[in-house]
Amino acid sequence: MKIVVIQGPNLNMLGVRDQNIYGPMKLEDIHAQMKAFAEQNNLEIEFFQSNLEGEIVDRIQECMGDADGIIINPAAYTHTSIAIRDALAAVKIPAIEVHLSNIHAREEFRHTSLTAPVCAGQIVGMGPFGYHLAMVGMTQILNEVAAMKKAQQAQQQAAQQ
């Protein structure tokens, strides 16, 4: 099973930018922890970060037929990007939205997520640990999807006999 982690604008500045909000950990460190989890759980993982909305849309679309799940932090695009929302909805791949800070406890314009309604879940305010929670959640979702497909195949085989 393959999970693609998509990081939005300014996340490449983690560890430097607003440490009182986002903490001191760098994006590479978060990715290293996610990679370790993936290896322990026999998952393939790929990372992508862009400050450009169109590149994020392209990467989401490229996941179709290539990935089983998406973990995404759209960052500021969470509150503005219908294009990212539409791409997530179109690919029909389970996605979990992650935010380091609690967007609901910040400025009012951050309270609305355009992308969350097309995601399987949203994790906010847990700092870097939120990405670990997303990995656990995505593993569970993918295992449930695999079990459902296996049960459907068994039913089809039984019906053919």
Q: Which residues are known to be catalytic?
A: 22, 99
Assign residue 49 a region (left: φ > 0; alpha: ψ between -120 and 50; beta: otherwise): beta
Distance, in Å, from the CA atom of 68 to the CA atom of 105, rounded to the nearest integer, reads: 32
Cα–chain-centroid distance for residue 119?
Answer: 9
Which helix or strand (DSSP H or E) is residue 135 part of? helix 129-160
CB atoms within 10 A of CB 32: 12
Answer yes or no: are the C-beta atoms of 102 and 124 closer than 8 Å. yes
Distance, in Å, from the CA atom of 102 to the CA atom of 108, rounded to the nearest integer, reads: 12
Cα diameter, the chain: 63
H helices of 52-102, where? 53-62, 82-91
